[in-house]
Amino acid sequence: AQKITQTQPGMFVQEKEAVTLDCTYDTSDQSYGLFWYKQPSSGEMIFLIYQGSYDEQNATEGRYSLNFQKARKSANLVISASQLGDSAMYFCAMREGVKTGGFKTIFGAGTRLFVKA
């Protein structure tokens, strides 16, 4: 069975500093994808970054990077140079069979990030 674990219900970070949001996962599949989404107070889900299970390099998208450690089954999100607008809920998610477009996405419980001025 799939399982996504986010152990940090809330995190504080000072503006302009970097922050790491933890995510561990559990799957028996060899092919899967890991995603991070941002959900501001408005409720919309914003895609941030993707890491494929076969990708050898860690994914990066602007200020977002994913620290993928396959053996440890962790996919932590690193946000560099935090901005006040980064304050939001962040969800880690996983989907098996990602290249074939099938299967459902499982979400973690989320981490609420607060950026302090």
Partner 1 sequence: GAVVSQHPSRVICKSGTSVKIECRSLDFQATTMFWYRQFPKQSLMLMATSNEGSKATYEQGVEKDKFLINHASLTLSTLTVTSAHPEDSSFYICSVRTVVGVYTEAFFGQGTRLTVV
Question: Which residues form the interface with partner 1 (CB under 8 A)?
Answer: 33, 35, 37, 42-47, 50, 52, 91, 95, 98-99, 101, 104-110
Residue among 57, 60, 80, 70 at smallest CA distance from 23: 70
- Of 25 and 95, nearer to partner 1 (C-beta) is 95
- Give the helix/strand (H/E) hosting 96: strand 88-96
Find the shortest distance in angstroms from Cβ 97 to partner 1. 9
- Of 19 and 59, nearer to partner 1 (C-beta) is 59
- Of 81 and 109, nearer to partner 1 (C-beta) is 109
What is the C-alpha separation between 34 and 25, in angstroms, rounded? 9
Contact 26, 49 (CB under 8 A): no
